[in-house]
Amino acid sequence: MIISRTPVRVSFCGGGTDLPAYYTESEKGGLVTSMALARHIHVTVNKRFDNSVRVSYSKTEIVDDFEMLEHELVREAMRMTGVTHSVEITTIADIPSRGTGLGSSSALTVGLLNALHTFAGRNPDAAQLADEACRIEIDLLGQPIGRQDQYAAAFGGSNQIAFMPDDTVVVTPIEIDAKDLASNYFLVYTGITRKASDILAKQSASSDKKRADLDVLRQQAVEVRTALESGNHNTVGMLLDASWQIKRTLVDGITGDALDDLYSTVMELGPFWWEITGCWRRRIFLVPRDA
């Protein structure tokens, strides 16, 4: 049996600049600063003693031909790795499986590819897994999403991820004191979920007229790295809030009354409460512990 464990992530700043509509037209490309969390998507792959395929997630599918699978990420990961029969696949998540804004779909895709490649006797590196996950989600399935989640999941840790105009990706590890971060912040689940693609499809289409805003978001990814590495939590918070104020103007539907009310309540608790993007339509709040 093969077992993979792939982290979800928090994106601090730069989200939106990882969309091809922006970074392929920008001289500097896109830039995102993110951190993997100690919450994971678990995938197991085991041999079956007939030619069928069994996949268990929130439901169970048993098919004679993998092409018949309803779970499109599993189906395309099987196709890409060539593991197409006599296999049982199970997925389990430490968080709600969809709509949290923590990149769980991309983490699942990376975990599936890693487990299936390993099952087939191969040892893919992080760059290959991230690239293949992007190909599945963006190229094959046509999801109007960016590329940060796949690379954050595949590489793990804390990174600044650059998306160059020629489509190359450069991942640079950054030094963040994880214990200091954990002692100063915690994540709050709002219970509100929304598919990222619903929002990003609108943002992608409006990238041209919003390029100046995206340039600012890119610069914030530079600044938040410096603040995180120096442990300057005040600056981190101000950058997160500034980022949110820009993102909420990019397209309609990013926020809503319930989220705006919750955000206002959080901000009223004091000047040291901030909230971080959960894939743009707010699902997760990141708040300091000492507010």
Domain boundaries, the chain: 2-173, 178-288
State pTM to two decimals: 0.88
- CATH of segment(s) 178-288: 3.30.70.890
Instruction: Decide yes or no: CATH 3.30.230.10 for domain 2-173.
Output: yes
Task: State the Cα angle at 235 between 233 and 237, rounded to 5°.
Answer: 70
- Asked if residues 199 and 279 have their Cβ atoms less than 8 Å apart, the reply is yes
**How far does CA 183 lie from the centroid of its chain?**
23
- Asked if residues 183 and 169 have their Cβ atoms less than 8 Å apart, the reply is no
pLDDT digit string (tens) for the chain, length 291 residues: 999 999 999 999 999 999 998 999 999 999 999 999 999 999 999 999 999 999 999 999 999 999 999 999 999 999 999 999 999 999 999 988 666 788 999 999 999 999 999 999 999 999 999 999 999 999 999 998 999 999 999 999 999 999 999 999 999 999 988 788 877 777 777 666 555 555 555 555 455 668 899 999 999 999 999 999 999 888 888 898 888 888 877 766 555 566 667 666 666 665 444 444 444 444 455 655 544
Closest C-alpha to 222, from 160, 129, 166, 273: 160
